[in-house]
Amino acid sequence: MKISVIGCGYLGAVHAACMASLGHDVIGVDIDADKVAVLNRGDVPFFEPGLEQILQQSLASGRLRFAVAPATDELVDVDVHFVTVGTPQSATSGAADLSFVNSAFDMIEAAVKSSTKKPVVVGKSTVPVGTAHALAKRIAPLGLTLVWNPEFLRESFAVEDTLRPDRLVYGLSDDPAHAVHGQSVLDEIYASMLAAGIPRLVMNYPTAELVKVAANSFLATKISFINAMAELCEATGGDVVELAHALGHDVRIGNRFLSAGVGFGGGCLPKDIRAFVSRAEELGVEDAVGFLREVDEINQRRRDRVVDLSFAALGGAVAGKKITVLGAAFKPNSDDIRDSPALDVALRLHEHGAQVTVTDPEALGAVEKRLPQLRTQVETMAALKGADLVLLLTEWDEYKNLDPAVVRGIVAHPKIIDGRNVLDAQAWKAAGWGYRGLGRH
């Protein structure tokens, strides 16, 4: 099939490369000319394990190329358009900004008007419930079918999650002819994945849109739940790591996404729960998801807690003190710093006058670009030199495996706050460190 993938960020670039690897002829389109050039060279403009190999193989096969939007000529001959643009949080409220989605549909309309083909449009972006219905109405006069096919990939496992997802969700039109057509075209695209036994779940548009935001809301709630328990542990002398471990033995609860710490960040969970609340308000059902405001607040409080603990560890004042922050990305194995808890904490301490040095194996380029006021140092040991306080805020393996005795010889004062509860507290204490986890004593 001839496929376009409109929007080549974390989701689109991976989707384009993976669809080409399945044997489709793919054109990826993006407004960022630099990104298009980088992708066409076979380089990945962000850190995503495994993507470079599949991208280069797909480019070499001749089945994948990238073009600068609007690329109308390139889109004319396409059978299926995937819309994979971002839906960031609006600058003025918690709602999602749909301007990129609308421009993608503008591009599709322009291409269709100069073509004899009637392509299927497949929406993958995370959108407020009701969007698919409105977009389907918009393209109906052109005779186009819309399918809403949300994406559940995790950054740092993006290739695996795209080629071997837990499930494929198809949100189909209420119009039976459009529904049958959309389903059969998507079945053809994903034929090899379906043959491999990946479950395909068919539903209407609003349900498909809700699956996506409900999944991210559930994950965010699970993290904030255990972080709320961390607050209780702090007030009572409990240990949230042991608590989570014990809870996880109940298979109904499970232990995944039950790691307490500085909380969730990234380009998805925080903005998706806010957009969900905002959409529920518009629909007059805000009470149904009012708890997500609490989820957000618990999450923000964890960042406050690390800042407070830093003040306490440094005798009540951080001005002039050397603080080393281990990790800048919102999670390990990623260079994404969107709404990163680590950087939020680093920035706040910097604003309080601390001499903050941030280190990260992959994300420092992004930090230097977006937060030039922060001092960066890529070498972990150099970053730790002379520190009055160390904060571990993104759990890269390199930081988890640090030898407390070795690091003790480098810092000025052996004090560490383990914002991800990943270090062996006893080993660090035994090596002479003042160790604080979150929700642990």
CA dihedral 123, 124, 126, 129 (to 10 degrees): 40
Contact 275, 128 (CB under 8 A): yes
The SS3 call for residue 96 is strand
Nearer to ligand UGA, 139 or 244 (CB): 244
Contact 328, 394 (CB under 8 A): yes
Nearer to ligand UGA, 74 or 362 (CB): 362
Q: At closest approach, how far in Å is the CB of 400 from ligand UGA? A: 13
Nearer to ligand UGA, 269 or 411 (CB): 269
Stretch that binds ligand UGA, among 265-273, 290-298, 352-360, 370-378 (CB under 6 A): 265-273
268 is known as an active-site residue: yes
Rounded to 5 degrees, φ, ψ at 203 are -155, -175
Q: In 10 A of CB 230, how many CB atoms?
A: 29
Please report whether residue 311 would count as binding ligand UGA according to CB under 6 A.
Answer: no
Out of 125, 126, 149, 421, the only residue in the binding site for ligand UGA (CB under 6 A) is 126
Please report whether residue 337 would count as binding ligand UGA according to CB under 6 A.
Answer: no
Out of 13, 51, 111, 219, the only residue in the binding site for ligand UGA (CB under 6 A) is 219
Please report whether residue 261 would count as binding ligand UGA according to CB under 6 A.
Answer: yes
CA angle 286, 288, 291 (to 5 degrees): 90
Nearer to ligand UGA, 74 or 336 (CB): 336
Please report whether residue 225 would count as binding ligand UGA according to CB under 6 A.
Answer: no
Please report whether residue 216 would count as binding ligand UGA according to CB under 6 A.
Answer: yes
Contact 210, 129 (CB under 8 A): yes
User: Which of the 8 DSSP states describes residue 89?
Assistant: B
On the question of a cis peptide bond just before residue 176, with omega within 30 degrees of 0, the verdict is: no
Please report whether residue 257 would count as binding ligand UGA according to CB under 6 A.
Answer: yes
Instruction: Please report, as residue ranges, which positions from 135 to 154 form the binding site for ligand UGA (by CB under 6 A).
Output: 151-154
Q: DSSP of 274-313, one letter per residue?
A: HHHHHHHHHHT-GGGGTHHHHHHHHHHHHHHHHHHHHHHH
Q: Total number of residues binding ligand UGA (CB under 6 A)?
A: 21
Contact 363, 326 (CB under 8 A): no
Give contact residues for ligand UGA (rule: CB under 6 A). Answer: 126, 151-155, 216, 219, 223, 257-259, 261, 263-266, 268-269, 330-331
Q: Give the residue numbers marked as catalytic.
A: 268
